[in-house]
């Protein structure tokens, strides 16, 4: 945590804190800020046997620099942001279909352990109100 605080710029730290606050606000009604970790379903993709995509669909890890900014890639390198890709397959049976369709679902998740919420608090205290700098 100290390495991240030392090596990220003030703007990058503020972007991280802003992101965490926004995501916590989205889940505040059910999860609250006191949870063990913040889990974010970043995106999902369903691919059916009837899907015809010539280029295919990327199922590798997210490019956090592109998705969120350079700060996210740096936070990942320090182990503060973790990502996970989950995949499952299931079959859909419908009377409107001649044959059942096999569907592959891929979900990309980001998580931040609650121990790093203290870093967000420190950034808020050092940099002013994170929520007002949106």
What's the rounded mean pLDDT across residues 111-133?
Answer: 82
| Residue in the block written with tokens 């121990």 | 115
The first and second tokens of residue 91, run together, are: 């079959």
Q: pLDDT-derived band of residue 51, with 50, 70 and 90 as boundaries? A: low
Q: How far apart are CA 46 and CA 91, in angstroms?
A: 12
Q: How far apart are CA 96 and CA 38, in angstroms?
A: 40
Buried b (16+ CB within 10 A) or exposed e, 30-69: eeeeeeeebebeeeeeebeeeeeeeeeeeeeebebeeebb
pLDDT, one tens digit per residue, over 6-35 is 999 999 999 999 999 999 998 875 544 456
């Amino acid at each position: 945590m100290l390495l991240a605080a030392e090596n990220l710029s003030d703007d990058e730290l503020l972007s991280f804190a802003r992101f965490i606050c926004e995501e916590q606000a989205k889940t505040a009604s059910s999860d609250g800020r006191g949870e063990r970790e913040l889990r974010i379903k970043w995106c999902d993709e369903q691919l059916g046997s009837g899907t015809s995509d010539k280029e295919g669909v990327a199922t590798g890890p997210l490019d956090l620099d592109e998705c969120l900014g350079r700060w996210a890639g740096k936070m990942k390198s320090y182990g503060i942001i973790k990502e996970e890709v989950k995949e499952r397959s299931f079959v859909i049976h419908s009377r409107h279909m001649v044959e059942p369709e096999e569907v592959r679902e891929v979900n990309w998740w980001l998580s931040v352990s609650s121990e790093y919420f203290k870093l967000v608090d420190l950034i808020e205290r050092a940099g002013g109100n994170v929520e007002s700098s949106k």
